[in-house]
């Protein structure tokens, strides 16, 4: 099971410069250092996001075309507190067909302002190789319990390790299912 070839086609700092949404979009949201780039590369099974492309202080949103089927959107950070009201509307537009990925259950609420009906959200716990299996099992239960309180969020968090390649196939399947590919 493979994703279509991913190629970078646009970078934007504000919603008004986003490329038009012609196909479904799958967005990846997560704090810097959470392992998002590694995960996108693991999903693509090649180096799509280079370290040098990573935004430092500049927060840029990168768009990658997955063939002609869908776009992957790499969104650094979340919450976007600096965004003005009219831009928030555009964010919601962008996110209206999006599947969101993030990691820290205690931060889940921070980007819930982006939600509206029809947005599918999948929580992904990254770097699972760093946690011993009994702890991982406990965390899974805690996160799963919290997810029950939110609409539009998949019941089960996915647990992945880009390093050990665990959970990658499952997430890849989930991405493809979301975009009907």
Under the rule (CB under 6 A), what is the footprint of ligand GDP? 30, 32-38, 126-127, 129-130, 161-163
Residue closer to ligand GDP, measured from CB, 34 or 97: 34
CB of 179 to ligand GDP, least distance (A): 22
Please state, in angstroms and rounded to a whole number, the distance separating the CA atoms of residues 76 and 60: 7
Residue closer to ligand GDP, measured from CB, 15 or 35: 35
CB of 165 to ligand GDP, least distance (A): 9
CB of 160 to ligand GDP, least distance (A): 7
The residues with which 24 forms a beta bridge, in sequence order, are: 70
For residue 63, what is the DSSP state?
Answer: E
Residue closer to ligand GDP, measured from CB, 15 or 30: 30
Instruction: Give, for 70, the enclosing helix (H) or strand (E).
Output: strand 70-76
Which residues lie closer than 8 Å to 80 by C-beta, 6 or more apart? 88, 91, 111
């Amino acid at each position: 099971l493979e994703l279509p070839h991913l190629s970078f086609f646009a970078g934007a700092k504000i919603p008004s410069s986003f490329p038009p949404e012609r196909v479904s979009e799958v967005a990846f949201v997560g704090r810097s250092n959470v392992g998002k780039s590694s995960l996108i590369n693991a999903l693509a099974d090649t180096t799509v996001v280079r370290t040098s492309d990573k935004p430092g202080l500049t927060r840029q949103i990168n768009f990658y075309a997955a063939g002609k089927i869908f776009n992957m959107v790499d969104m650094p950070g979340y919450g976007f507190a600096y965004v003005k009201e009219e831009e928030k509307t555009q964010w919601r537009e962008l996110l209206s067909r999006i599947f969101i990925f993030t990691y820290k259950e205690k931060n889940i609420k921070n980007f819930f302002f982006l939600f509206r009906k029809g947005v599918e959200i999948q929580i992904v716990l990254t770097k699972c190789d760093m946690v011993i299996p009994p702890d991982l099992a406990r965390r899974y239960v805690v996160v799963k319990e919290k997810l029950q309180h939110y609409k539009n969020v998949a019941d089960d968090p996915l647990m992945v390790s880009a390093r050990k390649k665990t959970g990658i196939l499952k997430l890849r399947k989930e991405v493809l299912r979301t975009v009907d590919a």
